[in-house]
């Protein structure tokens, strides 16, 4: 259905024939998609079109929902994420995730960043790693004098950057961002968007957003999803963000982008 437009590098993640069910309800229908490496791919579409659900399939977070069932494949580094012998812990170690609401642990700023590497058995200089990640997340200057303070002393935007730093500490190949700015004010949103652009050359980012302007501002590629008559989500169109927004191939995309639908 969605065809990639002239992407030369092998995809970071390939979704093939993906169906997602919550009990008897089909949330995603036959999703086929290639996520280009070291680019930002945005997912837009009306509420309930399954864009967050699709994201949560990519690192098997849907496993936490008891009624969830997945058919099809998500190929990552030559392996199917949903293969019998695939280990969700390892997949989540390599594919990081940033959530809708900032969710730092009730621990110090330092411990939040050190959490992942420590539990994964990191043997190097944790302090240096924490500093590197906080710098990468453009948070270091704001927190360097209070690393031992609770993460909850930070503002919402800072907390979200801390969550990004925490994810970076595992050097993930892909970062899934599930509406990372929906709980933030415009200034904090801008800071996160700038951060995404800075990370893009080195990380593959999949960004779910309900904010079309945000998709247009930060993403390299855009996936438009919508729902069919049975409320099942599917991919309508995938392409370079400029093309999707200026000359979409499908009428549904155009209607949504121009505000006639959704």
Partner 1 sequence: MESTTPNGVRSVSAEQFHRSLRGRRLIGNAAVILFLGSTLVGLATLAALIIDVLIDGLSWIDWDFLSTYPSRRPPDAGLRSALFGTLWVGGLTALFTFPIGTATAIYLEEYAPRNRLTQFIELNISNLAGVPSIVYGLLGLAVFVFLLNLDRVILAGALTLTLLVLPLLIVAGREAIRAVPDSYRQGSLALGATRWQTVRHVILPSALPGILTGTILAMSRAIGEAAPLLAISGLVFVTFTPGHPFERFTVLPIQIFNWVSRPQLDWQHVTAAAIIILLLVLLTMNATAILLRDRFQRRSEE
What residues make contact with partner 1 under the rule CB under 8 A?
A: 59, 61, 64, 66, 89-90, 92-94, 96-97, 99, 101, 103-108, 115-116, 119-120, 148-150, 152, 163, 166-167, 170
Q: Which is nearer to partner 1, 19 or 182 (CB)?
A: 182
Task: Report d(CA 71, CA 25) in Å as an integer.
Answer: 13
Pair 197, 218: CB distance under 8 Å: yes
Q: How far is the CB of 204 from partner 1 (least distance, A)?
A: 16
Residues 6+ apart with CB under 8 A from 55: 43, 97, 176, 178, 206, 208
Q: Which is nearer to partner 1, 16 or 107 (CB)?
A: 107
Q: How far is the CB of 121 from partner 1 (least distance, A)?
A: 11
Task: Report d(CA 235, CA 227) in Å as an integer.
Answer: 9
Q: Which two tokens stand for residue 10?
A: 């092998």
Q: Which is nearer to partner 1, 12 or 170 (CB)?
A: 170
Q: Which is nearer to partner 1, 145 or 230 (CB)?
A: 145
Q: How far is the CB of 105 from partner 1 (least distance, A)?
A: 6
Q: How far is the CB of 17 from partner 1 (least distance, A)?
A: 25
Strand 95-98 versus strand 233-240 pairing type: unpaired
CA–chain centroid gap for 40, Å, is 9
Q: Which of 45, 31, 15 is nearest to 226 (CA)?
A: 45
Q: Which is nearer to partner 1, 61 or 196 (CB)?
A: 61
Q: Which of 183, 175, 208 is nearest to 54 (CA)?
A: 208
Q: Which of 190, 180, 241, 209 is nearest to 44 (CA)?
A: 209
Q: Which of 105, 76, 61, 88 is nearest to 204 (CA)?
A: 76
Q: Which is nearer to partner 1, 54 or 61 (CB)?
A: 61
Question: What's the burial of 50, exposed, middle or buried (CB within 10 Å: 0-12/13-18/19+)?
Answer: buried
Q: How far is the CB of 120 from partner 1 (least distance, A)?
A: 6
Q: How far is the CB of 180 from partner 1 (least distance, A)?
A: 13
Q: Which is nearer to partner 1, 104 or 248 (CB)?
A: 104
């Amino acid at each position: 259905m969605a065809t990639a437009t002239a992407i030369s590098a092998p995809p970071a993640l390939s979704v093939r024939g993906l169906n997602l069910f919550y009990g008897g309800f089909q949330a995603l229908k036959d999703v086929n998609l290639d996520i280009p490496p070291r680019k930002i791919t945005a997912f837009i579409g009306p509420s309930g079109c399954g864009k967050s659900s699709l994201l949560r399939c990519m690192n098997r977070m849907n496993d936490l929902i008891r009624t969830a069932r997945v058919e099809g494949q998500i190929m990552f580094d030559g392996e199917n994420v949903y293969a019998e012998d695939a280990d969700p812990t390892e997949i989540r170690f390599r594919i990081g995730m940033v959530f809708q609401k900032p969710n730092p642990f009730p621990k110090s700023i330092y411990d939040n960043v050190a959490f992942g590497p420590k539990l994964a058995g990191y043997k190097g200089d944790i302090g240096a790693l924490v500093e590197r990640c906080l710098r990468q997340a453009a948070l270091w200057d704001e927190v360097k004098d209070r690393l031992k303070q609770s993460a909850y002393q930070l503002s919402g935007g800072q907390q979200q950057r801390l969550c990004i730093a925490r994810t970076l500490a595992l050097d993930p190949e892909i970062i899934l961002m599930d509406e990372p700015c929906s709980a933030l004010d415009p200034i904090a949103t801008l800071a996160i968007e700038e951060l995404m652009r800075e990370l893009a050359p080195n990380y593959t980012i999949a960004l779910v957003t309900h904010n079309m302007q945000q998709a247009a501002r930060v993403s390299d590629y855009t996936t438009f999803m919508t729902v069919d008559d049975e409320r099942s989500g599917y991919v309508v169109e995938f392409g370079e963000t400029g093309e999707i927004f200026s000359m979409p191939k499908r009428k549904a995309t155009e209607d949504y982008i121009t505000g006639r639908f959704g």
